[in-house]
Amino acid sequence: RKPDTTGRTDGRDPRLGQNPVGVTPPLVTSHQQSYTNSSVELLKFLLTAEEVIDGRRINVAGHRPAMKETMEDSDFNNLPLSQDTFHDLWNNVFLSTENESLAHTDGILNQNLDFWENPETMQETINVPTAPTVPAISNYAGQHEFNLEFNDSGTAKSVTSTFSNKLGKLFCQLAKTTPIGILVKEEPPQGAVIRATAVYKKTEHVAEVVKRCPHHQSEDPSDNKSHLIRVEGSQLAQYFEDPNTKRQSVTVPYERPQLGSQTTTILLSFMCNSSCMGGMNRRPILTILTLETTEGEVLGRRCFEVRVCACPGRDRKTEEGNVEKNGAKQPKKRKSAPAPDTSSGKKSKSASSGEEEDKDVYSLTIRGRNRYLWFKSLNDGLELMDKVGPKVKQEIPAPSSGKRLLKGGSDSD
């Protein structure tokens, strides 16, 4: 420490402020001083910097008035080294990126001008296909020969899903996985998807949207709790709701069949019973599976009826039995009125000739002796009535009054 030459007698050095003698102030390094100067100069530059774009001077600070509007480019030469380096960085990087953004905006402006000059051409490019109001339910194989395959699970009571080829109907349990095979002859274009949509079968309900009942929705914490059809085993499944028709659907990307297989399997589950109140409410539904491109073009379509119940095997067996019974009754009705046989030489009978019909003899097969005796006694009585002839009822004159009839009966007694 140099000797005190200021003439102070209190032992304090004025260069050290209020520090007592012998206490050295904290030293400021050259790096800290350079950093502080650079920060101050950078702040000043950002507040006063100006940028030239398209021949116009635009203040970068914006909300603060320009402090040095007449600042010349030569003044940058007198700035510290750190500020001069930032200036070069500003000119080389920022202005180049700004020019590229301006060129991009010019392209957007040109597209907008093209839209106002030729609106019809622009509408063709931005047109997106929308879902139909009433989806088609007819089968369409298309050029890829799109088809479905179901597992033959039988009619046992333990099965969770079974498909009836006679009825074209799927029987499955609530929230149980149902495998469906996707079969195509030609591979669809890249990015094709399989879409599953549920609609009501009857025409009086086809306009309504198929959704889950409020009870099952309240128990489901997922985001897609209102969707009836779910895709299991795939994280790429996407759920949609059309903004116009409010119909819900789910899509899953089409996958190529594995080696040694001809089909691709997707797993569907139905999240509500067919008998749920507030939902399907015993109304039959159809499930539509379509093969679509990324633009929404339909390449193939298959449709089948679905019944969600507690015992699929039992219900399938019952419905198939009912169809067989109804089909067996129809030919019996036709045989009850056979065509007349002209080869036997019998004359055709007219409906008006009642006497000739009474003379015909018919045979009746009766099972059980007691029943046969009962019919035989009835037939004998009818034969006796025909021989005797109908009895003529004697007309008894009605009494003039009821009192006289009673009085006459009392006198006779």
Distance separating alpha carbons of residues 217 and 211, to the nearest angstrom: 9
User: Was 144 annotated as part of a binding site?
Assistant: no
Distance separating alpha carbons of residues 228 and 213, to the nearest angstrom: 9
- Do the Cβ atoms of 59 and 48 come closer than 8 Å? no
Residues in the chain: 413
Strand 56-59 versus strand 248-253 pairing type: unpaired
List Cβ neighbours of 399 (8 Å cut-off, separation of 6 or more). Answer: 405
User: Was 311 annotated as part of a binding site?
Assistant: no
Handedness of CA 51, 57, 63, 68 (dihedral sign): positive
- Do the Cβ atoms of 173 and 160 come closer than 8 Å? yes
The angle, 0 to 180 degrees and rounded to 10, between the axes of the packed helices 30-48 and 81-89 is: 50
- Do the Cβ atoms of 226 and 212 come closer than 8 Å? yes
Distance separating alpha carbons of residues 254 and 278, to the nearest angstrom: 34
Strand 193-200 versus strand 285-292 pairing type: antiparallel
* Burial tier of 289 (Cβ tally within 10 Å: 0-12, 13-18, 19+): buried
Nearest to 230 by CA among 264, 202, 196: 196
- Do the Cβ atoms of 224 and 239 come closer than 8 Å? yes
User: Was 276 annotated as part of a binding site?
Assistant: yes
Q: What angle do CA 230, 310, 166 make, to 5 degrees?
A: 85
**Structure tokens given for 402:** 């009821």
User: Was 303 annotated as part of a binding site?
Assistant: no
Residue 95 backbone class (left: φ over 0; alpha: ψ -120 to 50; beta: rest)? alpha
Distance separating alpha carbons of residues 199 and 248, to the nearest angstrom: 10
**Structure tokens given for 401:** 């009054």
* Residue list, annotated binding site for Zn(2+): 213, 216, 272, 276
Binding-site residue ranges: 213, 216, 272, 276
